Amino acid sequence: MQEVQIRRAYYIKLGRGGMWEADSLARNIMRIGWAKNSVADINSHNWEIIETQLRAEQKNHGAVTRDLNALREIKASTQEDVWITFHASRLWWCRLAAGQVEQDDVSKFRRVMGAWSDQDISGRVLHIADIPRTLSQLQGFRGTVCAVRAADSLHCLLSAQRSFPYHAVADARDLLISKTQAALGQLHWKDFELLVDLLFRKAGWRRLSVLGETMKYADLELEEPVTGERYQVQIKSSADAAEFHAYRDQFSGQGFRKLFFVVHNPTKTLSEANSTASVELVLPSRLATMVVDSGLVSWILAKIR
């Protein structure tokens, strides 16, 4: 997959309070202010005249310098640059088309090359909740334009690539899951039953039966609190494919949506077996992932030391 090349990256606030966001995105333009400065002066690079006009409007010399620099960046930006903004809880990005600054009865603007996009190059929508904080925090910027300092993060995000910190943490997590899976084999079978109970309850399910209570096909009965649907869990110290198939064939539901068949020490034949819609096989590899994601690693450590 081709990467998104970025020479420079900028964030822009589309109007005071975002008042031009929807219109800019719909019309594929980038609206800007500077109402008292002429399009002719901007396109002719008459920056001294524009600076004098800005200083006549406001006394804050720092603000004047920032406004002037922002306008110069907008005018000078090429198709090699990427511009981002935020709207409707998503990050949007574009490149500016070649051409001058224009003006209509609303504001000055530059045209966008193609269209604004709220997706990375793989088609994944760029929800603000799913992007790095180094980018989402730009929403709090009080000016009009600023350079995106986290350009590497933006490049990875738009190119549908994972960042270096992501890979480092993911590799560490994979190693922890692998070690946890090995540790599961050290648990006493009673502790293993308790662990399975803890995992399902950590996921928010309510236990309806007493752990270890004698039932024909299950050691646990659970209820999903939102839907009220009920599930059964059969916990085995060891089992083979034949035993799993027997439970799978005998399970009729009878008021339960699914049976989870959880095994501590599966045989090779069981490891190659397949779940069905109503009977799901849960082996140590999946359990180890659930342990890590549920924050029960310390519990495991306390049981095997």
202 and 285 in a single domain? The answer is yes
Instruction: Give me 296's structure tokens.
Output: 């029960």
182 and 281 in a single domain? The answer is yes
Last residue of a domain, one of 98, 127, 161: 161
Contact 72, 47 (CB under 8 A): yes
Please indicate, yes or no, if residue 3 is contained in any of the structural domains: no
For residues 186 and 190, what is the distance between their CA atoms, to the nearest angstrom?
12
Closest of 4, 235, 225, 237 to residue 114, by C-alpha: 4
Please indicate, yes or no, if residue 21 is contained in any of the structural domains: yes
Instruction: Give me 37's structure tokens.
Output: 């400065």
For residues 13 and 32, what is the distance between their CA atoms, to the nearest angstrom?
9
What is the reported pLDDT for 166?
A: 85
31 and 139 in a single domain? The answer is yes
Per the structure, the count of domains in the chain is: 2
Amino acid identity for residue 20 in this structure: W
Please indicate, yes or no, if residue 4 is contained in any of the structural domains: no
Closest of 269, 265, 270 to residue 238, by C-alpha: 265
Last residue of a domain, one of 128, 161, 194: 161
121 and 245 in a single domain? The answer is no
Place of tokens 């399975």: 196
149 and 270 in a single domain? The answer is no
What is the reported pLDDT for 255?
A: 84
What is the reported pLDDT for 54?
A: 93
Phi, psi of 146, rounded to the nearest 5 degrees: -150, 150
Contact 159, 121 (CB under 8 A): yes
Q: What is the dihedral of CA 65, 79, 114, 149, to 10 degrees?
A: -60
Greatest distance between any 2 Cα atoms in the chain: 88
Please indicate, yes or no, if residue 288 is contained in any of the structural domains: yes
Instruction: Give me 216's structure tokens.
Output: 């024909």
59 and 92 in a single domain? The answer is yes
Please indicate, yes or no, if residue 118 is contained in any of the structural domains: yes
For residues 64 and 297, what is the distance between their CA atoms, to the nearest angstrom?
56
Helix, strand, coil tally for the chain in percent (to 5)? 40, 20, 35
181 and 72 in a single domain? The answer is no
What is the reported pLDDT for 218?
A: 77
Q: Which residues contact 102 (CB under 8 A, 6 or more apart)?
A: 39, 108, 109, 110, 111
Closest of 17, 19, 9, 51 to residue 34, by C-alpha: 51
284 and 172 in a single domain? The answer is yes
14 and 157 in a single domain? The answer is yes
What is the reported pLDDT for 187?
A: 93
Stretches where the chain sits below pLDDT 50 are none
For residues 92 and 296, what is the distance between their CA atoms, to the nearest angstrom?
39
101 and 145 in a single domain? The answer is yes
88 and 224 in a single domain? The answer is no
Contact 260, 243 (CB under 8 A): no
Angle, in degrees to the nearest 10, between helices 164-184 and 297-304: 40
What is the reported pLDDT for 212?
A: 56
Assign 272 to helix, strand or coil.
Answer: coil
Closest of 206, 218, 201, 168 to residue 290, by C-alpha: 201
Please indicate, yes or no, if residue 2 is contained in any of the structural domains: no
What is the reported pLDDT for 210?
A: 65
Q: Which residues pair with 220 in a beta bridge?
A: 233
Query: pTM here?
Result: 0.68
Last residue of a domain, one of 136, 161, 186: 161
Work out the angle at residue 47's Cα, subtended by the Cα atoms of residues 42 and 49, and round it to the nearest 5 degrees: 95
189 and 265 in a single domain? The answer is yes
Please indicate, yes or no, if residue 227 is contained in any of the structural domains: yes
For residues 229 and 238, what is the distance between their CA atoms, to the nearest angstrom?
28
CATH number at residue 290: 3.40.1350.10
Phi, psi of 67, rounded to the nearest 5 degrees: -65, -45
Domain of residue 285, residue span: 166-304
What is the reported pLDDT for 248?
A: 87
Please indicate, yes or no, if residue 1 is contained in any of the structural domains: no
What is the reported pLDDT for 253?
A: 72
